[in-house]
Amino acid sequence: VFEAAAPATVFVTQTQVVQDFAMRTVEVPAGAGTGFIWDSDGHIVTNCHVALADCGKLVPARKLSVTLYDQKAYEATLVGADPFKDIAVLKIVPTDKLVPIRQVPADYELVVGQKTIAIGNPFGLDHTLTTGVVSAMGREVVGIGGVTIRDMVQTDAAINPGNSGGPLLDSRGQLIGMNTMIFSNSGSSAGIGFAVPHTVIGRVVPQIIEKGRPTRVGLGVSILEDAQARRLGVKGVVVERVAASSPAGKAGLRSATRTPTGWTVDVIVGVDDERVQAYDDLYTTLEDKAPGTKVTLSVLRLPGEEVLKIETELIELD
């Protein structure tokens, strides 16, 4: 398995420009992690927090380098990233033929207890293999982008700093996830690691390769930040503005409006049969849906107490 998968595993490093004590501008290593070869065209998949200087704000690294199994290093460019899933796609122009990671079949199903294999570069020790099992599935972990990554794969294979972005494989050497984070007080492996599942990778990566960004759907409305909504004592997603010409506006969703007696505010408290208490709930409810999908919103129109049902159509967001 290692002989087949190791050539598809790469070392990703980024550098930043700083000033030294003599006030000279110099490049220094700013981070390192792992990645894997997606296709023969030179696309490399890794974590967003490995490839970007600031994943949450999509600030690119000054310089990216990808080192292959044969120790050949190539400068890489950023194709795009999804901070909500902690996924980034890089591009290199190799001089030799690349060996992509093996993909699982479309109908592949993980089973708790099955063997897992992690290949990565912990502490800079390139192409280190560790083994374990699938400890649990369906874990929900808050990612770099501040929203929950659903259906994470939990494994006890040793994952340490430097493993981020590396492949999690099954016993046949097929990609079942991307090692992303660990649960540890010390910063080293405690036997609880989490990987973005292959289903999410398989959906998001082709979108980034095609358009430079993931496909994002939504209602096309501006919402109040969760912290502000909490200070107002509101549980749900507060709608600040909605264009009257948008599907949501035409369906009856309203912008917040000041009246002589106070404010009239629409609060989204549910989508179809799912309860919504914060933006994270709204995002995870809509993330798998396609543009044009019809959904039914449960809307509390304050200061009233009646919950309205509003059917609207999802749109693709910029």
Computed on alpha carbons and rounded to an integer, the radius of gyration of the chain in Å comes to 22
Check: CB of residue 17 under 8 Å from CB of residue 25: yes
Catalytic residue chosen out of the listed positions 43, 82, 86, 226:
86
| 86 annotated active-site | yes
Joined together, the tokens standing for residue 245 give 């010409």
Check: CB of residue 13 under 8 Å from CB of residue 61: no
Nearest to 88 by CA among 61, 119, 124: 61
Check: CB of residue 177 under 8 Å from CB of residue 164: no
| 245 annotated active-site | no
Catalytic residue chosen out of the listed positions 135, 164, 189, 298:
164
| 171 annotated active-site | no
Active centre residues (catalytic): 49, 86, 164
